[in-house]
Structure 1
C-alpha cells in the first residue's frame, strides 16, 4: 500500500509541472500590464522610473523561463507569491478560505449521498415500477437543471418569500448547529442537486447488475434477510463504480463552486477566485489553480485507496 502511495505521489510531480507551466504561460500572455495592476493605474501615467522600480521589486524584468523557475522553486517552499490586489501572501489567503470551501463540499456530498443511495437502491429493487420511473425522472431533471438557477430559486423561495433562511453569508459550528445549517443548507443543496442525480443513476445501474449475480442469489438461498443481502453483499460491490464518480465530483466541487459561492456570498476559494479574475490578480489566480489541482490529485489518490478497502481483491501495489 505505502509503495503504491509513494509511486503515485512521484507520478504526480510531472503532472503538476505541466499544469504549472500551462497556468503560468496562459496568464503570462493575458492582456494587461502587471505594473498598472499593481499600482492601480491603467491610464498609462506610470513613469519609466516607477515602472523600473516595480518590475525589479516584483521580478517582472526577468525572462519568462527565469520567472517560471522561480515560481516553481518558491511554490515548493510554500511561497505562491504576493497578490497584486491586496499585497497579501497568496498561500495564506487561499488557506484562510479553504476551510469554508471544504465544509461546503463535504456537506454537499453528504447531502447528495443521503438522497442518492436510498433512491438508487429503491429504483433498482423496484425495477420497471412506478418508483423506478419516478427516481429516473427525478435524476434526469436533476442533471438537466443548472446549479446556479436552482440556487437562485432556493434563495427567492426560502429567503425572500418565506424568510426562513438567510440569503447570503456563512456561520461556524461554534455559533450553533441550527445557525450553521441555516446558512449552509441552500448553497449545499444547490451543489448537491446534480451530484445526487448522477449518483442515483449510477447506483441504480450498478445495483441492477449486482442483484443478478450468482453470489447474491446464493445469499438469498441461504435464507439471509433481505436487508443483509442488500446492504452487506450487493451495495458494497455496487459502490465500486460509483466511487469513481464521487471522486471526480469531489474534485470538481473544490474548484467548481465558483458561481455558487458568489451567489450566496460564501467565503470560500471559489469566491476568492471570482474576485481575483475580476481584478486580474494573476498571482492569486495561479496559486488558487495550482492548489486546486493538487487537491484534485490527492482526492484521486484517496479514491484509489478506498477501492482497496471496499474490494479487498484490488491490490494497489500490483497496479501499473
Structure 2
C-alpha cells in the first residue's frame, strides 16, 4: 500500500511537470497581451515607457525559458504568483473559491446517485423488460443532451415559468443549490446507470452467483451482498474520475448559474488574460484529479477482495 502511494505521488509530480510545460506554453501562445489588459483595466492614459516598465515588473521582458524556470521554481514552493487583475495570491483565490465548487460537486453527485443506482439496479433486475428499456432510454437521453441545454430548460421551467427556485449565484438559501446540482447530476446519472446495469449483468452471470442461488440464498441478498459488490469496481473507477473532474471545476454549470466556484473564476481569468491565475488553476486542478483517483485506487482492495494493489502495476 505504501509502495502504491509513493508510486502515485511520483506520477503526480511527473504529470504536474509535463502539465506545467503545456500550460505555460499554451498561455504564451494564447492571443492577447496581459500588459495591454492591465493597462486597459486601469483606464488611464499610458505611454510606451509605462508599458515597458509594467512588462519588466511582471518579468515578461525575459526569454521564455527564463520565465518558465522562474515560474516553476516558485510553483515548487507552492507560490503560484499573484493574480494580475485581482492583485491577490493565486493559491489564496483558489482555496477561497474551492468550497463553492465542492458544494456543487457533492450536490451533483448526490443527485446522480439518487437517479443512477435505482435505474441501474432495476434495469439489471429485469433485463429485456420495461424497467430495462426505460433505463436504457434514460441513459441515451441523459448522455445525448448537452449540460448547458439541460440547465437552460430547468431555468426556464422552474425559475422563469413556475418561479419555484432561484437560479443565480450562491447564498444562504439552500434552494439555490438545487438547479445547478440537478443540471450537473442528470447527465452523469445516465452514464453511471448504464455502467451499473452492465456490471450487474456481468456479475450475475458469474459461477459464484449460481452457487449462491443453489444454496438457497435469497435473491435480494444475492443482489445486495454478492452481485453489487462485484459490479461496483468499474463504476467506482468512473465515479472517481467524475468526482475529480467536478472538483476541478464544473465550468459550464458554474458559468450558467453564476456559481462562484473555481470554474467560473477560471473562465473570468481567461477573458481577462490573467495568465498566472489560469496557470495556477490548471495545475492545482490537475493535482486534485490525480489525488482523487489515488483515493479511488486505495478503495479497490476494500470493495473487491479479488483486487490486490501493489506499488508496481497498481491493480492485480
Same fold (TM over 0.5): yes
Structure 1 position 156 matched with structure 2 position 156: yes
1:239 and 1:309 mapped to 2: Cα distance?
A: 12
Offset of 1:313 from its aligned partner? 2.7
Q: Map of 1:300-315 to 2, 5 A cutoff?
A: 300-315=293-308
Match of 1:91 in 2: 91
- Stretch deviating more after TM superposition (249-258 or 110-119): 249-258
- Equivalent residue in structure 2 for 1:285, among 272, 275, 278: 278
2:74 and 2:126 mapped to 1: Cα distance?
A: 57
Match of 1:219 in 2: 212
2:168 and 2:49 mapped to 1: Cα distance?
A: 45
Match of 1:269 in 2: 262
Q: Residue by residue, what CA displacement relative to the aligned partner does 1:243-287 show, whole Å, maximum 9, x if unpaired?
A: 111122123323452121111111101111111111121111111
Structure 1 position 79 matched with structure 2 position 79: yes
Structure 1 position 137 matched with structure 2 position 130: no
**Count of aligned pairs between the two proteins:** 313
2:262 and 2:249 mapped to 1: Cα distance?
A: 10
Match of 2:126 in 1: 126
RMSD: 1.8
Does the Cα contact within 8 Å between 2:7 and 2:311 map onto a contact in 1? no
1:98 and 1:283 mapped to 2: Cα distance?
A: 17
DSSP 3-state at the match of 1:40: helix
Does the Cα contact within 8 Å between 1:36 and 1:46 map onto a contact in 2? no
TM-score, with length taken from structure 1: 0.93
Ranges in structure 2 where 5+ consecutive residues have no aligned partner: none
Q: Map of 1:1-320 to 2, 5 A cutoff?
A: 1-40=1-40, 46-171=46-171, 175=172, 179-180=173-174, 182-255=175-248, 257-317=250-310, 319-320=312-313
